Amino acid sequence: MNIIEDAKQAVQGLVQGAMAKAVALAPDSWMPGGEPDPLIRHQHGHVGKPLSRIDGPRKVTGSATFSAEFPVDGMVYAAVVFATIAKGRLVEIDTRSAEASPGVISVMTHRNAPKLNPPPVFMSSSKAAGGDNLPIMQDDRIHWNGQPIAVVLAESQEFADHAASLICATYEADVTLTNFAVAIAKGTEPSLFMGQPLHNEIGDAEKALKEAPVAVDATYRTPRHNHNAIELHAVTVAWTGDTLRIHDASQLVAHTAWSVAQMFGMDEKQVVVTSPFVGGGFGGKCLWQHQVLAAAAAKIVGRPVRLVLSREGVYRVVGGRTLTEQRVALGADKHGKFKALIHTGVIAKTPSNILPEPFIMPARSAYASETMLLDVQAVELDMLANTFMRAPGEAVGTFALESAIDELADALGIDPIELRLRNEPEKEPTSGLPFSSRHVVEAWKMGAERFGWDQRSVKPGLVRDGEWLVGLGCATATYPYYRMPGGAARITLTRLGQATVDIAAHEMGMGTATVQTQVVAERLGLSLEAITFNYGDSTLPGVVLAGGSQQTASIGASVIAAHRALVKELIKIAGNDSPLAGLKPDEVASRDAGLCKADDPSRFETYASILERAHRDEIRVEASPPDPLETMHWSMHSHGAMFCEVRVNAVTGEPRVSRFLGSFDCGRILNSKTAASQFRGGIIMGLGLALMEETQFDERYGRIMNPSLSEYHVPVHMDVPDIDVIWTDIPDPHTPMGAHGVGEIGITGTAAAVANAIYNATGKRMRDLPITLDKLL
Amino acid sequence: MQTSTHLEISRRDLLISSAATVAVTGVAGGAIAQSAGNDMVQTSKVSFIVNGDIHNMKLDNRTTLLDALREHLHLTGTKKGCDHGQCGACTVIVDGRRLNACLTLAIMQEGRRVTTIEGLGKPGDLHPMQAAFIKHDGFQCGYCTPGQICSSVAVLEEIGANIPSHVTADLTSPVALTAAEVRERMSGNICRCGAYSNIIDAISDVGGMKA
């Protein structure tokens, strides 16, 4: 081959490379017949790479600043005093000793707190963030055992904590309802989730169950849980004139700014909420009383206030996952085809919030069944409002459903994976919608092979290694794809070829900035170094919740919309002298720090050149994506197949998880390193759910009895074996980047996989979580 | 009608009484020097070394080492996750041994050498363990991370110094660097995001453990 041939090939290679690299504009909607996001076709760019976290150096050196770490001059420290009755009236609160205590500046109670509107409760409107709608320190009413009744403000935390211990309260108690069984006996109410009844019926399921040749019917119980993010809930707040600045640990900064503004009767622009790093959220880092108390206290003392809840304080003030009592009944023919699927039960909530734990969500889409009855009933207790915690509904719902399927497989003598595959639905049974992307069968097959499922003893209790009984179990994992309305993003592109994306999103460990930098770099045809991703500030565009595993889709769609606006603007200012002259936005793609004609990458001009000719230093656009109509057209979910090996000590009953594999189908994986970490993290929280986690609630007095990390057990290093995670990496053509959420799927199915493995090891069926050793003796 | 005060005896109150015991034995000399003519001694002078710098401070006797680092020296890399010695987020290295900074009073550190996460390395000049945590994604939110890293560094030294643990099977031969040894020794550092497997990978990498 001569030099000319080489050069020709090289040029050809370059053009082909450029074709492959150019990114066309993403469709601005994900409707039937629409074009998939062109990033899906990009297999060799930044997306999908195991890029290490760009904020890693800050996090490992302690230089990432969390909410209690913003230095403010003249700051006052706060300590909170909590009510000790479940319901009633504060007759007297004696604060004199506290006020006279050294270093104390003021004590705030309902007698001197500024007048505030009640918090807008989450899901009551688009920007509402409140955990409940109860007035905050406005009157003498007590609504739960642990409600804040006073805030001491002092020159140091030591002074504040000591003075708080001197406050004496006298109560008049009302008759309370704090017992779940008593409340159920009094009657339950149907419940709503996101405005829809938690109820589905297909045919007559009870009749079909009675007539089914093989059936199982059992009750499963899951206790209350707390998120227990290691960062304590903390705020540093300061009033500057009429502006309130809140350094918060938040997974919803824009919602919080709006909601706090409503409470103080201010314009939402007067409340600035920032949260650059969140030390774990899991659903718990939303708007509770502490932020509002700190802001009110700062107003009283006329100085900035830092309020860090104690670990006990977090349990008193921040809600957790509620308890459930679930019935699952399955009827099948002799081949295992489901004739009836019944998943019903009761949860507890409060009169002041609107979140019933929607445990029937998995059953709505996971399996085909001739008949179905799904229903969630609610009772209301006098307790701290419950809230969403990692995979609300699915985490505990899959425990019951997937345990029942294992029980049915056992009754039928059919392998539990085979039973699931025999009931694979063609479309979502309850809605009739087609699936946007469902490859759970592939996940099952990949996982079974890798885990060595064929090594499982069909009969339980037969495999023994010394004094340890060994068993294998499996379960389906499932969590919906969500994209909530309210996204928006701003892109600023400079003549130097640097792009900045601004969006009020959050980083609580998901790797938001890292992953979005990869996506934005690829979409704009820029290097990673050319991208700045700003987030965690309510003054930035968008109302984006870091929850429901929806943030990646929400940011992705917002950036797509802003990118489209950017390209339109670039073509406009490029003018007639540009190689891009006459092209429409849909004919244009990004590559190599510029734009080109999508099907002719040689018609190309760099961003720098376009801006220079137009005498512009920078160009700035902001846009919002269309409403998430994709979820109206398809049934959209992340999927997974979970495999667990346990060892149960035959003498002590101690259960140990010795091996775990998660095989996932979650669309395109955007960063294989951070996604694997989220999968593992979810599974580990699922191991806690299965084996140790329980918020112990005193049903006589409505008080949480174990408000500490020594009494509420979470998994530690010694509890966690090697966890293997694999995935299909099949993009969903109907989502931004082809991705599904990965933050919550890991906790779903895990508890059932553990319980089913314990059954396989011991022959004992565990239907009440957590599965502690006393239950196995 | 029910009457109650704030029920829990604060941990600080308990620590005060233990500090008083220490003062009587003469360890915290500053507290004794100040006690004359003052019926309620609030503060004491103390000097200790943090990351190589000597700090002379006058502190509330109740101030924990953790709060002294965070609120007085503004070394906020050391984290508060429970303030009760249950989570390990506040782990620092004092005179070569790891310690929960929330479980010791600042005035008990007279003359001691404290190493915090800021003393191990900085962005651009990372300690090998910090670099390994990034490489193996040994964290997510990053809040427990400084404690995990300080603990990891000390754990390798403890194993190197042949200090046995609960899972050390044979006390007569040198302690081996195994996954079980590391898991056991690291179990005082809780990571709620669940980066445990990746943390073990990072420690194994730095410690030269065979996979």
Residue A499's nearest CA partner among A562, A431, A555, A444 is A562
* CA dihedral sign of residues A107, A111, A112, A116: positive
Chain B residues touching A710 at Cβ < 8 A: 84, 86
Interval A70-96: pLDDT, tens: 989 999 999 999 999 999 999 999 999
Residue A531 contacts by C-beta under 8 Å, 6 or more apart in sequence? A498, A499, A500, A501, A517, A520, A521, A524
Best mutation target, B13, B61, B141, B186, to test chain A (most A CBs within 10 A) = B141
Per-position b or e across A600-616, b if 16+ CB within 10 A of its CB: bbebbbbbebbbeebeb
Say if residue A321's pLDDT is above 70. yes
Instruction: Report the alpha-carbon distance of residue A33 to residue A45 in Å, rounded.
Output: 26
Chain A: closest CA distance from residue B206 (Å): 15
For the CA atoms of A459, A465, A466, A467, the dihedral, rounded to the nearest 10 degrees, stands at -60
Do A716 and A422 form a contact (C-beta atoms < 8 A)? Answer: no
Chain B residues touching A510 at Cβ < 8 A: 140
Do A59 and B139 form a contact (C-beta atoms < 8 A)? Answer: yes
B133: nearest CA partner in chain A:
A60
Domain spanning B128-207, CATH architecture: Orthogonal Bundle (1.10)
Best mutation target, B41, B137, B192, B205, to test chain A (most A CBs within 10 A) = B192
Say if residue A711's pLDDT is above 50. yes
Question: What pLDDT, on the 0 to 100 scale, is given for residue A27?
Answer: 63
pLDDT, mean of residues A625-634? 92
Nearest neighbour of B190 by CB, restricted to A162, A168, A230: A230
Q: How many CB pairs under 8 A join A and B?
A: 238
Nearest neighbour of A230 by CB, restricted to B76, B192, B196: B192
Chain B residues touching A56 at Cβ < 8 A: 133-134, 139
3-state percent helix, strand, coil for chain A, nearest multiple of 5: 30, 25, 45
Instruction: Enumerate helices (H) and strands (E) in chain A, giving the number of each.
Output: 20, 33
A712: nearest CA partner in chain B:
B86
Do A689 and A700 form a contact (C-beta atoms < 8 A)? Answer: no
Question: What pLDDT, on the 0 to 100 scale, is given for residue A31?
Answer: 80
Residue A657's nearest CA partner among A693, A688, A695 is A688
Question: What pLDDT, on the 0 to 100 scale, is given for residue A195?
Answer: 83
Q: How confident is the model at residue A34 (pLDDT cuts 50, 70, 90)?
A: confident
Q: How confident is the model at residue B27 (pLDDT cuts 50, 70, 90)?
A: very low
Chain A: closest CA distance from residue B138 (Å): 9
The three state secondary structure string of B143-176 is: CCHHHHHHHHHHHHHHHHCCCCCCCCCCCCCCCC
Average pLDDT, chain A: 95
Say if residue A431's pLDDT is above 90. yes
Question: What pLDDT, on the 0 to 100 scale, is given for residue A17?
Answer: 46
**How many CB atoms within 10 Å of residue A227?**
23
Residue B172 contacts by C-beta under 8 Å, 6 or more apart in sequence? none
Do A736 and A449 form a contact (C-beta atoms < 8 A)? Answer: no
Do A277 and A150 form a contact (C-beta atoms < 8 A)? Answer: no
Do A93 and A167 form a contact (C-beta atoms < 8 A)? Answer: yes
Say if residue B198's pLDDT is above 90. yes
Instruction: Enumerate helices (H) and strands (E) in chain B, giving the number of each.
Output: 8, 6
Say if residue A19's pLDDT is above 50. no
Q: Look up residue A114 and give its DSSP letter.
A: P
Nearest neighbour of B6 by CB, restricted to A81, A680, A714: A81
Chain A: closest CA distance from residue B1 (Å): 5
The phi, psi pair for A413, rounded to 5°, reads 70, 30
Chain B: closest CA distance from residue A407 (Å): 30
Q: Look up residue A225 and give its DSSP letter.
A: B
Whole-number Cα distances in Å, A401 to A191, A220, A225, A590: 19, 9, 19, 47
Instruction: Report the alpha-carbon distance of residue A511 to residue A509 in Å, rounded.
Output: 5
Residue positions counted in chain B:
211
Q: Which of A38-52, A337-351, A697-711, A757-771 has the lowest mean pLDDT?
A: A38-52
Paired tokens of A638 = 């992340």
Residue positions counted in chain A:
777
pLDDT, mean of residues A545-552? 92
- Is B3's CB within 8 Å of A171's CB? yes
Nearest neighbour of A61 by CB, restricted to B118, B189, B192: B118
Question: What pLDDT, on the 0 to 100 scale, is given for residue A30?
Answer: 76
Question: What pLDDT, on the 0 to 100 scale, is given for residue B41?
Answer: 67
Q: How confident is the model at residue B39 (pLDDT cuts 50, 70, 90)?
A: low
Chain A residues touching B75 at Cβ < 8 A: 62
Residue A600 contacts by C-beta under 8 Å, 6 or more apart in sequence? none
| Residue A150: strand pairing partners | A81
- Is A508's CB within 8 Å of B2's CB? no
Instruction: Report the alpha-carbon distance of residue B137 to residue A50 in Å, rounded.
Output: 10
Instruction: Report the alpha-carbon distance of residue A241 to residue A485 in Å, rounded.
Output: 33
Question: What pLDDT, on the 0 to 100 scale, is given for residue A42?
Answer: 83
Question: What pLDDT, on the 0 to 100 scale, is given for residue B14?
Answer: 46
pLDDT, mean of residues A722-731? 97
Chain A: closest CA distance from residue B111 (Å): 23
**How many CB atoms within 10 Å of residue A392?**
25
Question: What pLDDT, on the 0 to 100 scale, is given for residue A33?
Answer: 80
Provide the percentage of residues in chain A whose pLDDT is more than 90. Answer: 93
- Is B123's CB within 8 Å of A156's CB? no
Place of tokens 């600080």: B12
Provide the percentage of residues in chain B whose pLDDT is more than 70. Answer: 80
Structural fold of domain A67-175+231-279+285-317: Aldehyde Oxidoreductase; domain 3 (3.90.1170)
pLDDT, mean of residues A715-743? 96
Per-position DSSP letters for B104-124, written without gaps between them:
SBGGG-TT-EEE-HHHH-BTT
Whole-number Cα distances in Å, A187 to A177, A206, A367, A630: 13, 21, 31, 38
Question: What pLDDT, on the 0 to 100 scale, is given for residue A194?
Answer: 82
Nearest neighbour of B139 by CB, restricted to A59, A102, A282: A59
The two beta strands, B113-115 and B43-50, are parallel
Average pLDDT, chain B: 86
Place of tokens 């007559």: A204
Instruction: Report the alpha-carbon distance of residue A155 to residue A153 in Å, rounded.
Output: 7
Do A485 and A628 form a contact (C-beta atoms < 8 A)? Answer: yes
Say if residue B211's pLDDT is above 90. no
Active site residues of A: 744
Per-position DSSP letters for A12-25, written without gaps between them:
HHHHHHHHHH-EEP
**How many CB atoms within 10 Å of residue A169?**
24
Question: What pLDDT, on the 0 to 100 scale, is given for residue B12?
Answer: 47
Position B36, amino acid: A
Question: What pLDDT, on the 0 to 100 scale, is given for residue A14?
Answer: 43
Chain B: closest CA distance from residue A631 (Å): 29
In chain B, where does the domain assigned CATH 3.10.20.30 lie? 11-120
Domain spanning B11-120, CATH architecture: Roll (3.10)
Nearest neighbour of B196 by CB, restricted to A102, A310, A720: A720
HSE toward the beta carbon, residue A86, CA cutoff 13 A: 19
Question: What pLDDT, on the 0 to 100 scale, is given for residue A744?
Answer: 97
Domain spanning A382-482+632-776, CATH architecture: 2-Layer Sandwich (3.30)
Best mutation target, A310, A692, A717, A720, to test chain B (most B CBs within 10 A) = A717
Interval B108-129: pLDDT, tens: 999 999 999 999 999 999 999 9
Q: Look up residue B107 and give its DSSP letter.
A: G
Instruction: Report the alpha-carbon distance of residue A51 to residue A45 in Å, rounded.
Output: 12
Interval A559-603: pLDDT, tens: 999 999 999 999 999 999 999 999 999 999 999 999 999 999 999
pLDDT, mean of residues A610-635? 95
Q: Does domain A16-40+483-626 have CATH number 3.30.365.10?
A: yes
Q: Where are the domains of chain A?
A: 16-40+483-626, 67-175+231-279+285-317, 382-482+632-776
Per-position DSSP letters for B63-76, written without gaps between them:
-BHHHIIIIIS--T
Paired tokens of A446 = 């990949």
Interval B140-166: pLDDT, tens: 999 999 999 999 999 999 999 999 999
In chain B, where does the domain assigned CATH 1.10.150.120 lie? 128-207
**Residue A480 belongs to what H/E stretch?**
strand A468-480
Kindly give the interhelix angle for A551-574 and A512-524, rounded to the nearest 10 degrees: 30
Would you call A605 helix, strand, or coil by DSSP?
A: strand
- Is B149's CB within 8 Å of A60's CB? yes
B88: nearest CA partner in chain A:
A230
Residue A420 contacts by C-beta under 8 Å, 6 or more apart in sequence? A367, A405, A444, A476
Say if residue A369's pLDDT is above 60. yes
